[in-house]
């Protein structure tokens, strides 16, 4: 009897030790991810994905488009893409978080949504039955979003494996609000030199400039929309270098920068002055 009790105690102790080691490894893995920039997290999450015929076409790694013709277009300059402002000066954007996510994962998404209210007039709110346009936040194939308001149900994909970080949530929401990547800005060549010889074959289109609205805000190496210097590299060599000083650090953002916030407020006419 004593032997059986001792065996049971040993088994319980072993299980507890295994659970502790598993939890410790999970923390280490999470800590490793926290060291990466938003750009690196997105590239890691979206690399080697097998796209199905039902998935949208992706350009620049995480921008969803309906056809190849949209690769060089900016819907915000060609047709307008802003979400409407209400009489109280706020921009209310309905959203729905699908049941793919755990309560912890939903909390990460909600924190990203709510962060916009602390520095802009953007207010994400749960969708209601009479909403015609809304964001459907889902765990689909990778991290991606369309650029700007599309009309009707608009999917923002935040895959449970790799996309659920504060900065990546902000990044995809900025796409949905109408923003492109920093390195595709119309004035990009004044600040970034693209080294196409180091870019993976078939990925060159990710570095094409588009006619963007820059809101009079200077180019921002620290933007959460700026990709890192090795993005889409085929040989571990840089695909982008800052000019005139190639040693300037860039693409390391883990959340929205001051210029990201300023550009957002300018596009949506958020008043930053006290009344």
Asked if the model's pLDDT at residue 71 lies above 90, the reply is no
Question: Does residue 171 have a known ligand-binding role?
Answer: yes
Tens of pLDDT, residues 233-260: 999 999 999 999 999 999 999 999 999 9
Question: Does residue 275 have a known ligand-binding role?
Answer: no
- What is the DSSP secondary structure assignment for residue 197, as one 8-state letter? G
Question: Does residue 166 have a known ligand-binding role?
Answer: no
From the centroid of its chain, how far is CA 28? 23
Q: Which residues are catalytic?
A: 172
CB-count exposure of residue 75 (10 Å: 0-12, 13-18, 19+): middle
CA pair distance 251, 225, nearest whole angstrom: 8
The domain ranges of the chain are 38-268
Tens of pLDDT, residues 24-43: 443 333 456 778 999 999 99
| pLDDT, mean over the chain | 86
Tens of pLDDT, residues 115-159: 999 999 999 999 999 999 999 999 999 999 999 999 999 999 999
Q: How far is CA 206 from CA 8, 77, 125, in A?
A: 59, 19, 32
Architecture of domain 38-268: 3-Layer(aba) Sandwich (3.40)
What is the band of 11 on the pLDDT scale with cuts at 50, 70, 90? Answer: very low
Mean pLDDT calculated for residue range 205-213? 85
Specify the pLDDT at position 70.
58
């Amino acid at each position: 009897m004593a032997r059986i009790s001792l065996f049971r105690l040993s088994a319980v102790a072993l299980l507890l030790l295994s659970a502790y080691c598993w939890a410790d490894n999970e923390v280490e893995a999470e800590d490793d991810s926290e060291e990466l920039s938003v750009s690196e997290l997105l590239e890691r999450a979206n690399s080697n994905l097998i796209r199905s015929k039902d998935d949208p076409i992706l350009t620049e790694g995480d921008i969803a488009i309906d056809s190849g013709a949209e690769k060089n277009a900016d819907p915000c300059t060609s047709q307008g893409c802003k979400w409407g402002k209400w009489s109280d000066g706020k921009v209310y954007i309905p959203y729905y978080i699908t049941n793919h996510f755990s309560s912890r994962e939903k909390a990460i998404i909600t924190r990203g949504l709510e962060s916009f209210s602390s520095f802009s007039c953007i207010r994400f709110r749960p969708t209601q039955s009479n909403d015609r346009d809304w964001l459907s936040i889902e765990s689909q194939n990778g991290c991606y979003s369309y650029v700007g308001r599309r009309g009707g149900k608009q999917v923002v994909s935040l895959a449970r494996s790799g996309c659920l970080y504060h900065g990546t949530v902000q990044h995809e929401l900025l796409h949905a609000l109408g923003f492109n990547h920093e390195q595709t800005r119309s004035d990009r060549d004044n600040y970034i030199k693209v080294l196409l010889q180091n870019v993976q074959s078939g990925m060159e289109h990710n570095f094409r400039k588009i006619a963007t609205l820059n809101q009079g805000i200077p180019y921002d190496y620290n933007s959460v929309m700026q990709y890192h210097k090795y993005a889409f590299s085929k040989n571990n060599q840089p695909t982008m270098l800052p000019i005139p000083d190639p040693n300037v650090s860039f693409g390391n953002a883990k959340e929205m920068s001051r210029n990201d916030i300023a550009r957002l407020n300018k596009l949506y006419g958020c008043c930053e002055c006290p009344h």
